[in-house]
Amino acid sequence: MEKIIIFDTTLRDGEQAPGASLEPKEKLEIARVLVRLGVDVIEAGFPISSPGDFASVKQIATEIKGATICGLARAIKADIDAAAKAIKPAKSGRIHVFLATSPIHMKYKLKKAEDEILRLAIESVKYAKRFMSDIEFSPEDASRTNKEFLYKVVEAVIDAGATTVNIPDTVGYAYPAEYGRLIAGIKENVPNINKAVISVHCHDDLGLSVANSLAAIRNGARQVECTINGIGERAGNASMEEIVMAIKTRKDLFPGIATSINTPEICKVSRLVSKLTSFVVAPNKAVVGSNAFRHESGIHQDGVLKKRTTYEIMRPADVGFFESNLVLGKHSGRHAFSRRLHDLGFRLNEKELNEAFVRFKNLADKKKQVFDEDLLSIVEQEFKEFKEIWRLDNFSVHSGTNIIPQATVVLRRAGKTYEGTSPGDGPVDACYRAIDKITKIKGELLDYSIQSVTRGKDALGEVSVKVRLNKKEISGRSATTDIVEASVKAYLSAINKFLSHKGNSATLSL
């Protein structure tokens, strides 16, 4: 079998999606589950972008084994130095250098001519090669680059030492047949192409990222860059789970081709990434959506009961789409709780496990059954690394028909309590205004969403917010059985993140 290398960029390009900021500990946990999933390369971040991203990439490179750890860099020595230093602890490391090559990018963004771009590409690869042997080069916006110039750049960087050449469809402009011909053209017109792996990195602006990636594979690409749930800049990246399952399901179109992905782990990883990024997976999302294996039509139900393959081309178990038979409740013990977390892919130390178990018991007192989604909400609190500067002590809300809602909020900071009262357009708005009075921080609410974590009247309500604080967009989330309380805690988590972390992170896209 010929292997397709799965290059996961959830922690780099995926995190660049607006509102998807992850804490270092959250990134580390995602990296761990990506290894268990069978990902070959993990692009851990863009080290030069901020001290926090550098530290996170270095931590992943130090602690994660079983996958190549990659750091992104522009064709600038300082970027390459930062990437090399961050990746150095990895048992298997890679530097990923990129430089735009399309006419529109060269003219308006870089203001450089073709000969200068070619020189910079060669020099950057040679410089990166000083630090490690595994070097990837990406001619950014390759799908809109003049083909003859693209061939020249690819040949030159391979001669300079690039072991992987990535052909990005940076703005999701390409059409599958067209993109497939582009990859075939590179194989036919670059004399030394057999010395490097052809990779593809497709964006989903026209909804074609997965189709383009699959077309590229059929034309000779042997590495695919993708993200869990397809998250990423703008409309997102190619979805890893869709690419992997398309290859596995349509073996007639991909004969002799396979990936190393352990597909029954897909749903676990999808749910974890969704939870930690606060990006809800659409019910109709292919492979991992909640409706992916549900059948409501009587004709469909009858067909599936008679022969599953009448309406299901994949088995739910193939992607881990099933519920545990182990039901947790208030009488469940620590061992059952710990085992279920292990089955979900979590690895907590003794202190973290004890704290999570206490929260589980508190929740179990309010609910008859605790589901996997509840456990994800419980455990995610262990990944928060920002300081809880302001903590909710208590709140009360007076609201109803034909009255102006009013909230009183009591917060605790450094052992002291502070109280604020404010009217508002609704109970949540009143609480937020009261918090602003106490903290002396005026937050502009950009986005607010609430969803039921599980089914039933006693389900957790999970609130996700995006708040602009001093020109920075900060996300926050919380889940409790009281949706107003969850709203207050989500807003406070955004404020605490803002107060704990300083400095902006640069974001760049391939």
Q: Is residue 288 part of a domain?
A: no
Q: What is the pLDDT of residue 378?
A: 77
- pLDDT band of 307, cuts 50, 70, 90: confident
Q: Are 166 and 124 part of one and the same domain? A: yes
Q: Are residues 269 and 338 in the same domain?
A: no
Please give, one letter per residue, the 3-state secondary structure of 201-228: EEECCCCCHHHHHHHHHHCCCCEEEEEH
Same domain, 312 and 256: no
The answer to whether residues 340 and 312 belong to one domain is no
CATH of the domain at 420: 3.30.160.270
| Structural domain that includes position 300 | 293-323
Q: How many domains are contained in the chain?
A: 4
Q: What's the CA gap between 112 and 116, in Å, rounded?
A: 6
The answer on 254 and 106 residing in a single domain is: yes
328 located within any domain: no
Question: Is 194 contained in some domain?
Answer: yes
- Residue 438 belongs to some domain of the structure: yes
CA nearest to 94, candidates 68, 65, 63: 68
Q: Are residues 305 and 365 in the same domain?
A: no
pLDDT of residue 500: 82
Does residue 98 form part of some domain?
yes
| Cα–Cα separations (whole angstroms), residue 388 to 52, 225, 412, 485 | 18, 36, 10, 16
* Average pLDDT of the residues in 133-159: 98
Q: Output the domain CATH number for residue 185.
A: 3.20.20.70
Q: Using a pLDDT cut of 90, give the percent of the chain over it.
A: 66
Name the 3-class secondary structure at 422. Answer: strand
- Amino acid 78 reads A
How far apart, in Å, are the Cα atoms of 226 and each of 11, 164, 196, 423, 447?
Answer: 11, 16, 19, 46, 26
Residue 411 lies in a domain: yes
DSSP 471-504: TEEEEEEEEESSHHHHHHHHHHHHHHHHHH--SP
Q: What is residue 312's predicted lDDT score, i.e. its pLDDT?
A: 85
In a domain, 180, yes or no: yes
182 and 161 inside one domain: yes
> Range with the lowest mean pLDDT among 211-225, 230-244, 449-463?
449-463
Same domain, 357 and 405: no
Residues 238 and 118 in one domain: yes
Enter the tokens of residue 64: 């994660």
- First-last CA distance in the chain: 30
The shares of helix, strand and coil residues in the chain, as percent rounded to the nearest 5, are 45, 20, 35
> What are 168-197's pLDDT values in tens digits?
999 999 999 999 999 999 999 999 999 999
For residue 463, give the nearest of 441, 500, 431, 491 by alpha carbon: 491
Contact, 436 vs 443, CB < 8 A?
yes
Average pLDDT value for residue range 63-88: 98
Question: Is residue 311 located within the same domain as residue 350?
Answer: no
Quick one: what percent of the chain has pLDDT higher than 70?
92
Q: What is the pTM of this model?
A: 0.84
- pLDDT 10s digits, 418-472: 999 999 999 999 999 999 999 999 999 998 988 877 666 667 788 989 899 888 8
* Nearest C-alpha neighbor of 196 from the set 154, 257, 239: 154
* Whether residue 306 sits in one domain with residue 409: no
Does residue 239 lie within any of the structural domains?
A: yes
Non-local (6+) Cβ contacts of 109 within 8 A are 100
Do 57 and 167 belong together in one domain? Answer: yes
